A and B are shown apart, each in its own frame.
Chain A
């Protein structure tokens, strides 16, 4: 008997258009079918490719179904043009199925713009939300919530390039609700990203948002933070607009890549440095574990009435499975309702 099993939830996976190919997403879904009995997956993409991959991997056929989609949007395609030319692209079909109730959430590791656009076409914005926000998780020095998650949430990182004060407040409410659910963090610390911690620092929209958030007692608003505070983990949720957020995210990723390249250079350059790196290996492994994308699964597009979790394009099967778990958790905890109620206050 099912007994205390959680309610079954179906997650649609856009199988196509990822860096590692459809088989990697199928493997992730297969992993999910073995690990989480209450999560069912709807794999959307080329049926032959999906079946080929599925036949070779351990999975539970009771928890997986397939929807054939004849096209897909590649990583390097322009989202608007691609979706116009390819109405049967996997991400569009998957978003439509979620909108129709065939699945409760969408996970995609494909073209981010196409994902956001497909959601915008098929999903509705939550009342009170003017623009959706693309969130991302970023590894930090400190941990947070009952799950001790070692990452903070940054939003927006690209969906809304020019956000006004009202948008920033909405982002704060949505990010706070998401952190409460995913990190089991009852009072997530929310901050605005600015060029100084003082309330009057930053452009007018940030100053106005600061004033409004200071008056909202349901949000644990800690004021402004600077860029340096992101990796420190000063705040659990960092609110900014899509332009600044995207620049900030790319810079943080660039720093990470540069550090890795420098370590590789050091390893090759000198025996003494190599010995030093060997002595630091456990620490390096710890950093690698923390910054490993595969642990996080994905980050949400917040603001729609349906859930979309965007997994990193480089996601391997473990990350895909984790993205599915994140999506199921968000659905089970009624994120949309939490955001709707947060915006009413």
Chain B
């Protein structure tokens, strides 16, 4: 094979991992009726969380990122979910769905609702093939165990969690032995590195943000994707014009306005996120003779509202301290919502 015939894609510099239900899609599955309705919804009837598709599109703009979706939806929904993503202009590199029928046929009832035994091996196996230097940003929600699983994933590959703790977590999380083997095998193949930069948790259930403080400042609970975009701007994943585009989509399609956007901005500041520079970058982006941005009125008003919200706080609070996560103690966060163990911390 001659050289011009074989052009490999550039290795990804960044990997964005997304959950689907309640993170990308506005999905209700709290009751049997919701479940049935969700199962029979057509692609065009499914509704994305405001700003989610715009954020994914902007993140993929750089061309050297990968989008990996790991969803708890059953494999049978693949066609309709793929169609929905295509309708939204979202291109993905990996799309893993749960084999619920297989679990049912094999009598693995715990696996039907359990998330640790499904998501953790899936994302570890995906990471095996990633370049060691590829950074990761993960997106989940507060309906399931995303904050727990994503943090565990990050600390496993960074070598901050040892075999003993992993075993305790997998046992306590009710993970089946074959899935435990998959977790260990994949984990051992991954070179030690610390690639996870952020874990965003979409507060679909409006869980109080303080409930995620045990995971440290890497986990950022968000009320909307404008907040994620602001943090990603501060982290260098997005540019200011890209953030403005996401905001505009949310204003135009989801009824967001000056008040909700500036309140969202201040909410992050009050939690110690260093966004002052991001605000300056946004205002500079609006100063240029950009045709698209000129159409984005009332963006200057939003920035004025931002400045007021910033000034209202006096000295912004310091960022929360980095801390080790006690996964054994937090295992109850990883249990399915209806589990009796969900609300109980592990015994000392």
Contact = CB atoms under 8 A, between A and B. Distances in A.
Interface of A: 1-2, 5, 8, 10, 34, 40, 47-48, 51, 54-68, 102
Nearest to B254: A1
Contact of A62 (B210, B223, B271): B223
Nearest 9 Cβ contacts at the A-B interface: A55-B210, A2-B255, A61-B267, A62-B260, A61-B223, A67-B312, A65-B263, A68-B314, A58-B206
Contacts of B255: 1-2, 5
B270 interface: yes
Nearest to A68: B314
B188 interface: no
A98 to B, nearest CB: 14
A59 B313 contact: no
20 contacts: A1-B253, A1-B255, A10-B259, A54-B208, A55-B209, A55-B213, A56-B210, A57-B208, A58-B207, A59-B208, A60-B223, A61-B223, A62-B223, A62-B256, A65-B259, A66-B266, A66-B313, A68-B312, A68-B313, A68-B314
Contacts of B270: 47, 51, 66
Given A1-B255, A47-B317, A51-B317, 10 more contacts: A40-B260, A51-B271, A55-B208, A55-B210, A56-B208, A59-B206, A61-B223, A62-B224, A63-B263, A65-B259
B309 interface: yes
B71 interface: no
Contacts of A8: 257, 259
B312 A66 contact: yes
Contacts of A61: 203, 209, 223, 263-264, 267
Given A1-B253, A47-B313, A68-B314, A63 B260 contact: yes
A92 to B, nearest CB: 15
Nearest to A58: B206
B262 interface: yes
A1 B203 CA distance: 20
Given A1-B255, A8-B259, A65 B208 contact: no
Contacts of B203: 61
Contacts of B260: 40, 62-63
B308 interface: yes
B206 to A, nearest CB: 5
Nearest to A100: B308
A57 B264 CA distance: 17
B263 A62 contact: yes
A224 to B, nearest CB: 47
A59 B203 CA distance: 10
A227 to B, nearest CB: 46
Contacts of B271: 51
Interface in B85-136: none
Contacts of B209: 55, 61
Contacts of B256: 62
Contacts of B213: 55
Nearest to A52: B210
A2 B254 CA distance: 7
Contacts of A67: 312
Interface string B179-212: 0000000000000000000000001001111100
Nearest to A44: B312
A73 to B, nearest CB: 20
Contacts of A63: 259-260, 263
Nearest to A59: B206
A64 B267 contact: yes
B69 to A, nearest CB: 26
A2 B260 CA distance: 13
B263 A64 contact: yes
Nearest to B262: A65
Contacts of A57: 208
Interface in B194-246: 203, 206-210, 213, 223-224
A59 B267 CA distance: 11
A2 B262 CA distance: 18
Interface centre among B207, B210, B312, B317 (most CB of A within 10 A): B312
A65 B260 CA distance: 9
Interface in B3-60: none
B267 A58 contact: no
A38 to B, nearest CB: 10
Contacts of B223: 60-62
A60 B223 CA distance: 7
Contacts of A40: 259-260, 263
B257 A47 contact: no
Contacts of A10: 259
Nearest to A40: B259
A153 B5 CA distance: 85
A84 to B, nearest CB: 23
Contacts of B267: 61-62, 64
Contact of B308 (A54, A68, A102): A102
Contacts of A66: 266, 270, 312-313
A59 B271 CA distance: 14
A204 B69 CA distance: 80
Contacts of A65: 259, 262-263, 266, 309, 312
A23 B29 CA distance: 33
